[in-house]
Chains A and B, each alone.
Chain A
Amino acid sequence: MNPIAIGVFIVIALLTLGSGIMVVTVRNIIHSALWLIASFIGVAALYLLMEAEFLAVVQILVYAGAVSILVLFAIMLTRQVTGEGVRVVFERWWVALLIALGLFGVIVPTLWQHGSTWEEASKLAQVGPAPVEGVAAGLQVATATEIGRSFMGEYLLPFEVISILLLMALIGAIVIAYEERTRRRRVLTLAEELALKKRGIVEPRDAEGAVVPREAEGAVILLDSEQA
């Protein structure tokens, strides 16, 4: 391997591993999410080093760009973000460690057995134009063209099945959101309130002078005026 490639690989791998460890040890949950983004970007850089450009770009687009923002939004909307009293390391941390070591023990021998693939991967990681013809069959699906060909050829059926699954999820999300929407009341704009006051209709009030909710009167204003 090229000396620059090795150096860059070591730096990126250490950064990725380090930020991965920070994700599970940092107390502040927002910081944890930010470290997660850093490790996503590190993985993307590793892909780029192996010249799997498409995978690297999709990693940034989907994980670093979209999933991380989703995670951040979810944390901010649902939790106490300071998390000072949150315990990071639990009593049975050694169980998790054992599972992780076991997985590692599966992955490393597998990679070792497919030695040719490993060799080819390191060959691919050389800086500069790499020969594409001599690459092992499993690694050829790396560029955008190859991925497109295999989606429209060899893997057409799985691709279609996944598309239908995603479409169903999309429709389901819309259905759920739509049901939610019909129950919500529309908030009047200032102009509408003014128009109401001009026409002599005032907000209904109870004996103490508090505004009676409109649902109590039986007149629910829907968000869309067409549905009313």
Chain B
Amino acid sequence: MADALTQLGFASWLSVLIASSIKVTLILVGGSVGMMFLTWYERRSISYMQDRRGPNRVGPQGLLQPISEAIKTMTKEDATPREADKIVHFLAPVVMLGATVLSFAVIPWGRMFPVDLNAAVLFVIATGGLHSIGMMMAGWGSNNKFALLGGMRGVAQLISYEIPQVMAIIPVVLMTGSMSLQKIVEAQNDFGGLGWYVFSPVGLLGFALFFTASLAEGERTPFDIPEADSEIIAGYMTEYSGMKFAVFYLSNYMSNLAVCFITATLYLGGGNGPGVDALGGFAGGLLSLIYFLLKSFALFFVMVLIRATVPRLRVDQLMSFAWKFLLPLVLVNILSASFWVALLRWDQQWPQLTEWFGAPSTADATNWGRLAIAVGLTLLINAGAVALIMRLTNRNVQKHLYTTDEELALGLS
């Protein structure tokens, strides 16, 4: 966009400034308006799943409901507790929303890349980590014990789930050989636009793990413990009302949307799909944008489905799920990703291995043969690991659920 403006006769710095402002405005407006209708969509679908009506009075099918709610939140009284730390209390939602909006900078919209950072994957993770500051500020600044507890719980959850989330991305980075989202999208363009990572065993497991960890990062059910309504009444948002609460809500939804976008980019091939390269040019770009949005909203539908059906976890279940279930699986997945890369590029990358140590050479094998070996081996490793860890976890769960009399006697005699 900046080049086109330069050709129109603007100075280069002015055209960069104008182009960046337009992009930022588009993202902000698109994000918040999109979020308003996502809330409508989510409530309608959940009410359909639970056999009730949901919003249906304002406008056709309740479509104007978000607008009426926006007016309501804007006109609502914005109360601040007398003993609260006013500035911190005010800045907390701003920090949360800022962290969310930052991550939108690197998301590839089909074939359009607002900013192609070299370390885009890390950037997304880093901005996700900034949420914990906002949460801490909200919890502490409210001067309320429930809010502080909720904030602490939220931060603990964010820190715990950041580890499996980051490590679930490592296989993708290994397979692509780059942390740039543009390169990751390009790498999934094989087989007529269908070489998505989710179709490989490594990518499939990585997709499941990343999406689960991201649900916890975005405080979605079943991991919405920080705002657990039934226990500590809205958690770190207890003392927020009116527009400040709405900003929290907005940042929450936008970060969930960003998670869907990132998952679609990393594992579902971003804007790749059959026909994008064949069309080419503007039409191909439009088609890739449509593919990308379809994949992302399908993921959002999965989030809604999970919210409608899965009950909330307890705090201890949450922690052991992250450390005892997700983390080992993620480690195994990294191992099998390195096998995948090694089997596909054995002789080009490490000719010394065959020369010096007599490792079997796959130079004679065809590309399809290598692919078959790689798929078979990684499938074996990943399926074995999933089966083993699920079995171990089930055994532990049963042990803690049903304490026998013998165990009680053993512990208390």
> What is A's interface to B at a CB cutoff of 8 Å?
2-4, 28, 30-31, 34, 37, 53-54, 57-58, 60-61, 64-66, 68-69, 72-73, 76, 127-128, 143-145, 186, 191-192, 195-196, 199, 201, 219, 221, 225, 228
Contacts and interface: CB of A to CB of B under 8 A. Distances in A.
Contact of B119 (A31, A53, A65): A53
B127 interface: yes
Interface string B124-139: 0111011011001100
A192 B408 contact: yes
Residue picked from A28, A54, A64, A144, most chain B C-beta under 10 Å: A144
Contacts of B122: 54, 57-58, 61, 144
A144 B133 contact: no
A29 B358 CA distance: 62
Nearest to B16: A127
A72 B17 contact: no
20 contacts: A2-B13, A28-B85, A30-B140, A53-B117, A57-B119, A64-B133, A65-B126, A65-B130, A65-B132, A69-B132, A69-B155, A76-B140, A127-B16, A128-B2, A128-B16, A144-B119, A144-B179, A201-B412, A219-B413, A228-B410
Contacts of B2: 128
Nearest to B135: A69
Residue picked from A31, A54, A219, most chain B C-beta under 10 Å: A54
A2 B13 CA distance: 7
Nearest to B91: A34
A31 B88 CA distance: 8
B21 to A, nearest CB: 12
Interface in B364-413: 403, 405, 407-408, 410-413
A191 B122 CA distance: 45
Nearest to B136: A72
Interface residues of B, number: 34
Interface of B: 2, 12-13, 16-17, 85, 88, 117-119, 122-123, 125-127, 129-130, 132-133, 136-137, 140, 155, 159, 178-179, 403, 405, 407-408, 410-413
A64 B126 CA distance: 9
A228 B409 CA distance: 11
Contacts of B118: 53-54, 143-145
A145 B117 CA distance: 12
Contacts of B137: 34
A106 to B, nearest CB: 31
A30 B84 CA distance: 13
A34 B126 CA distance: 17
A215 to B, nearest CB: 14
Given A34-B137, A54-B118, A61-B126, 18 more contacts: A30-B85, A37-B133, A53-B118, A53-B119, A54-B122, A57-B123, A58-B122, A58-B126, A60-B130, A65-B130, A65-B132, A72-B136, A76-B140, A144-B119, A192-B408, A196-B408, A199-B408, A225-B411
Contacts of B117: 53, 57
Given A31-B88, A61-B129, A199-B405, A219 B13 contact: no
- List the 6 closest pairs (A to B, CB-CB), nearest first: A65-B129, A61-B126, A60-B126, A57-B122, A4-B13, A54-B119
Contacts of A225: 407, 410-411
Contacts of A144: 118-119, 122, 178-179
A192 B403 CA distance: 8
